[in-house]
């Protein structure tokens, strides 16, 4: 089962190997740390009332104040949150359980409503009653509809309240709330024990998957804030500020490497957690193989692992509040206004917005490809949690090795994040291309068990680093201090696009009765997006534009305060 969502992946290094590269904590920088706490309450820079003196609501920025240096405990709690938020439950097991119950409740349309979809003479098609007038819809299409609904909800969430996370402590509490919702939905899976409850399974899947996607986006928005406040990043910024007239290229490259390090290590921890969770689940799946509720127990155990590893972030996270909400504004409306204002800046931030547009297409292609392959994989292995766990382990282990492997390779040869991202894009294109072959032959093209093993290994080796480098590129193209705003757009590109793909594919499947007919559309999306990123995004110029834009915005705010 592929892991679909923003920041993810990794390499198999022990924690002892990872620890030496962690930034120093307060024990090593006590003077700096104490100073940062003392100046944390300096005069706030309120968001400027207008960007261009047009009377519009300005963009909030947290970049004008001194912020606490990241401590070791805070950084490790950040990593551990992602260790537990690895997607095994809401992004994998919940979908299998939902598809399994729906298939058990459905019937073969070629054999009549009294037939079974899993009988010895079943045609391979499976439908359920759907909508008024006695209509039906295939189970594969229903799963894709559930994904489309999930991404639609996420889109509404990110456009409405995503940007508001830049103000005050709203972002901190927002991540806590969506995390608690996801935990509750996963624990509620204990009630899903009979085929007749497939609508409940669909509802819980949507709730859990939606809140899981939100945790990834709001967690990712914290990344650039932490990355710019490590001891090393602060020292590099100080040197750059002291030598404004000199060439700052070397310091910028070092800052980029520091961001890449944090991104890759956090992604690594996600896959370490992925491996640990899957291995832990074998302790239930093997001895309780004949227990009818073992799948439900596994989801609860998976969720409990996340609770244990994730709670520490909300304890050790240091306060880095944004500016206060402008007078007369509301958290439910300012997001839309800010998105509109941000979109109007495309001429001043051309490479940032070209990347957001291309990522919109790429995320649609990759996420929907993962969902479609998972649907085929689940049916191929008869919705087995045990088989899915084994496949997941193959992906998690290769992901863990590849993410740190890619990072060390990048660091050793001083290769840009964009070039590393391009390598992953090539494989992104090849995956739906392989599925297309399955339209014309049953010999290859995701028809055989070995192909799903191959897919999980290839996905782990190349698509795992994709998430880390996609996030790193966005961080480089994001104006400093406007992190939640632009990472909200980044998350919107990921989620909103994935509202389109599943709905297009489910229509294709309903009309053709063939899951594989969706792969050509996905191949075209991935190819088009990759070409735009390769030839249309200049990261160095985009980073310079973003920094200059942020300084201008803060300058306007300061003048207005005077």
* Predicted pLDDT at 434: 96
Cβ partners under 8 Å of residue 374, min gap 6: 1, 2, 92, 95
Measured CA to CA, the distance from residue 120 to residue 138 in angstroms comes to 19
Cβ contact 211:185 at 8 Å: yes
Cβ contact 36:66 at 8 Å: yes
Residue 511 has a CB neighbour count (10 Å cut-off) of 10
Q: Is the dihedral of CA 472, 477, 481, 483 positive or negative?
A: negative
Measured CA to CA, the distance from residue 489 to residue 263 in angstroms comes to 18
Adjacent-strand bridge partners of 136: 129
CA distances from 25 to 5, 38, 208, 220, 333 (A): 30, 17, 35, 21, 39
DSSP string, 293-329: THHHHHHHHHHHHHHHHHTTHHHHPPP---PPPPTT-
* Predicted pLDDT at 106: 92
Is the pTM above the cut of 0.85?
no
Cβ contact 101:139 at 8 Å: no
Q: Tokens representing 45?
A: 């820079």
Residue for token pair 């009979």: 194
Measured CA to CA, the distance from residue 62 to residue 481 in angstroms comes to 5
Largest CA distance in the chain: 79
CA distances from 212 to 36, 237, 372, 392, 409 (A): 33, 34, 19, 18, 31
Q: Tokens representing 152?
A: 């639609």
- The residue among 511, 542, 518, 20 whose CA lies nearest residue 265 is 20
Three-state DSSP at 263 gives helix
Q: Parallel, antiparallel, or unpaired for β 136-138 and 127-129?
A: antiparallel
Measured CA to CA, the distance from residue 322 to residue 173 in angstroms comes to 13
Residue for token pair 């832990």: 280
Residue 244 has a CB neighbour count (10 Å cut-off) of 7
Which domains does the chain show, CATH number per domain?
Answer: 70-239+247-329 (1.20.1250), 345-561 (1.20.1250.20)
Cβ contact 302:93 at 8 Å: yes
Cβ partners under 8 Å of residue 496, min gap 6: 151, 154, 155, 158, 360
Q: Tokens representing 51?
A: 């960007």
- The residue among 457, 456, 434 whose CA lies nearest residue 446 is 434
Cβ contact 491:158 at 8 Å: yes
Adjacent-strand bridge partners of 127: 107, 138
Q: Is the dihedral of CA 322, 87, 211, 494 positive or negative?
A: positive
Measured CA to CA, the distance from residue 353 to residue 347 in angstroms comes to 9
Cβ contact 205:98 at 8 Å: yes
Three-state DSSP at 4 gives coil
Residue for token pair 């996030």: 471
Kind plus residue range of the DSSP H or E element containing 138: strand 136-138
Cβ contact 518:505 at 8 Å: yes
Separation of CA 488 from chain center: 12
Per-residue pLDDT tens digits for 478-489: 888 777 668 767
Residue 285 has a CB neighbour count (10 Å cut-off) of 22
For the chain, list residues with pLDDT below 70: 1-65, 162-166, 244-252, 484-485, 488, 491-492, 494-499, 554-562
Residue 362 has a CB neighbour count (10 Å cut-off) of 28
Residue 113 DSSP class: T
- The phi and psi torsions of 381 (rounded to 5 degrees) equal -105, 20
> What b/e readout covers 451-466, taking b as 16+ CB neighbours within 10 angstroms?
bbeebbbbbbbbbbbb
Cβ partners under 8 Å of residue 184, min gap 6: none
């Amino acid at each position: 089962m592929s892991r679909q969502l923003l920041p993810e992946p990794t390499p198999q290094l022990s924690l002892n190997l990872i620890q030496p590269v962690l930034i120093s904590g307060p024990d090593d920088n006590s003077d700096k740390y104490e100073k940062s706490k003392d100046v944390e309450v300096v005069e706030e820079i309120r968001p400027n009332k207008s960007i261009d003196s047009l009377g519009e609501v300005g963009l909030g920025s947290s970049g004008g104040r001194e912020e606490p240096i990241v401590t070791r405990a805070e950084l490790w709690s950040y990593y551990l949150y992602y260790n537990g938020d690895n997607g095994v439950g809401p992004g994998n097991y919940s979908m299998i359980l939902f598809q399994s119950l729906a298939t058990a409740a459905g019937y073969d349309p070629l054999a009549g409503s009294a037939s079974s979809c899993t009988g010895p003479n079943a045609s391979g098609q499976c439908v359920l009653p759907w909508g008024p007038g006695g209509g039906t819809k295939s189970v594969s299409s229903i799963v894709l509809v559930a994904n489309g609904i999930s991404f639609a909800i996420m889109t509404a969430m990110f456009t409405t309240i995503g940007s508001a996370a830049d103000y005050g402590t709203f972002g901190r509490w927002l991540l806590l709330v969506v995390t608690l919702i996801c935990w509750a939905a996963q624990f509620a899976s204990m009630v899903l024990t009979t085929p007749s409850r497939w609508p409940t399974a669909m509802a819980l899947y949507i709730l859990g998957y939606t809140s899981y996607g939100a945790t990834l986006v709001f967690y990712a928005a914290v990344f650039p804030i932490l990355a710019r406040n490590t001891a090393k990043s602060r020292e590099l910024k100080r040197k750059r500020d002291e030598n404004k007239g000199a060439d700052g290229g070397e310091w910028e490259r070092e800052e980029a490497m520091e961001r890449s390090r944090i991104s890759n290590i956090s992604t690594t921890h996600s896959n370490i957690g992925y491996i640990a969770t899957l291995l832990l689940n074998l302790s239930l799946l093997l001895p309780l193989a004949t227990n009818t509720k073992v799948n439900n127990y596994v989801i609860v155990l998976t969720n409990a692992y996340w609770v244990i590893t994730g709670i520490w972030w909300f304890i050790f996270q240091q306060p880095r509040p944004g500016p206060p909400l402008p007078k007369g504004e509301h958290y439910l409306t300012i997001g839309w206004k800010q998105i509109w204002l941000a979109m109007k800046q495309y001429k001043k931030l051309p490479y940032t917005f070209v990347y957001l547009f291309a990522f919109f297409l790429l995320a649609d292609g990759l996420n929907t490809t993962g969902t479609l392959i998972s649907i085929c994989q689940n049916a191929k292995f008869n919705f087995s949690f045990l088989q899915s766990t084994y496949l997941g382990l193959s992906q998690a282990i290769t992901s863990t090795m590849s993410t740190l492997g890619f990072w060390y390779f990048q660091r050793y040869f001083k290769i840009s994040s964009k070039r590393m991202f391009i390598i992953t894009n090539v494989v992104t294109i090849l995956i739906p291309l392989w599925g297309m072959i399955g339209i014309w032959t049953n010999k290859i093209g995701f028809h055989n068990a070995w192909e799903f093993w191959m897919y999980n290994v290839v996905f782990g080796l190349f698509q795992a680093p994709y998430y880390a480098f996609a996030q790193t590129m966005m961080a480089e193209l994001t104006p400093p201090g406007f992190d939640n705003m632009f990472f909200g757009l980044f998350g919107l590109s990921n989620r909103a696009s994935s509202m389109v793909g599943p709905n297009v594919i489910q229509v294709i499947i309903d009309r053709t009765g063939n899951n594989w007919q969706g792969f050509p559309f996905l191949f075209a999306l991935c190819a088009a997006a990759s070409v735009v990123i390769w030839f249309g995004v200049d990261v160095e110029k985009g980073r310079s534009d973003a920094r200059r834009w942020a300084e201008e915005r803060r300058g306007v705010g300061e003048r207005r305060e005077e």
